[in-house]
């Protein structure tokens, strides 16, 4: 299993969201088995947070392979499913960070108002560091609610022929082409064509 350092290297910085994604992926792989070598494991993520980068590195589920699905609900919920049956686990974050004291609340207010002084930056960085360590060291049961699920999965990724858009000339995956007046258009050009005609 990949380590947290590899996840940080891929993401570019260390943050609490990345730590959550790392722990989510650990819990998923513990429940589901090995990381996805190809498309046999599917991750369905319900947000676009830093956590998703950790999930890609750890689980082997990626947008490019078609086994990482985004349902952008803004929820800290992650579902991992096995092909072809669709059996899996749904992991939702339940952890609540310890309350901040008055001084830390003041630092956060100053930071959110644009104060990037050395004092404020140092305090925020130290606070994030403590939060990251708390997430990495917490018991899985304290971090997440994990339940078994079964979902119908979309078929595995397919390769389609490309068709050139009649307006911009750029190649488009066949099923994504929209026909207007018997001519093929990509989605952006379809909107432009509609604007020209109205």
Q: Work out how many domains the chain is built from and give that number.
A: 2
Give residue-wise pLDDT tens across range 181-195.
899 999 999 887 666
> For the chain, what is the largest distance between any 2 Cα atoms, rounded to a whole number of angstroms?
66
Residue 107 domain-assigned?
no
Q: Where are the beta strands (DSSP E) in 34-150?
A: 41-45, 68-70, 77-82, 87-93, 144-150
Kindly write down the DSSP assignment for every residue of 81-104, as one continuous string.
Answer: EETTT-EEEEEEE---PPPPPHHH
Residues 48 and 143 in one domain: yes
Q: Tell whether the torsion through CA atoms of 133, 134, 135 and 138 is positive or negative.
A: positive
- Alpha-carbon span 71 to 32, nearest angstrom: 21
Domain membership of residue 184 as a residue range: 162-197
Give residue-wise pLDDT tens across range 32-62.
988 877 888 999 999 999 999 999 999 999 9
* Coil, strand or helix at 14: coil
Residue 91 domain-assigned?
yes
């Amino acid at each position: 299993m990949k380590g947290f350092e590899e996840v940080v290297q891929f993401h570019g910085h260390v943050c609490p969201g990345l730590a959550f994604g790392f722990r989510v992926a650990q819990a998923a792989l513990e429940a589901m088995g090995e990381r996805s070598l190809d498309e046999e494991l599917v991750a369905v993520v319900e947000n676009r947070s830093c956590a998703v980068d950790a999930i890609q590195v750890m689980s082997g589920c990626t947008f490019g392979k078609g086994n990482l699905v985004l349902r952008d609900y803004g929820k800290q919920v992650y579902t991992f499913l096995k092909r072809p049956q669709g059996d899996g686990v749904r992991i939702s974050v339940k952890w609540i960070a310890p309350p901040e004291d008055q001084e830390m609340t003041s630092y956060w207010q100053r930071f959110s108002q644009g104060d990037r002084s050395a004092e404020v930056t140092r305090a925020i960085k130290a606070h994030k560091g403590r939060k990251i360590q708390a997430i990495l060291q917490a018991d899985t049961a304290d971090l997440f609610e994990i339940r078994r699920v079964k979902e119908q999965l979309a078929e595995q990724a397919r390769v389609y022929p490309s068709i050139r858009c009649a307006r911009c000339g750029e190649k488009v995956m066949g099923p994504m082409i929209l026909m207007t007046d018997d001519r093929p258009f990509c989605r952006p050009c379809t909107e432009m064509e509609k604007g020209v005609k109205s």
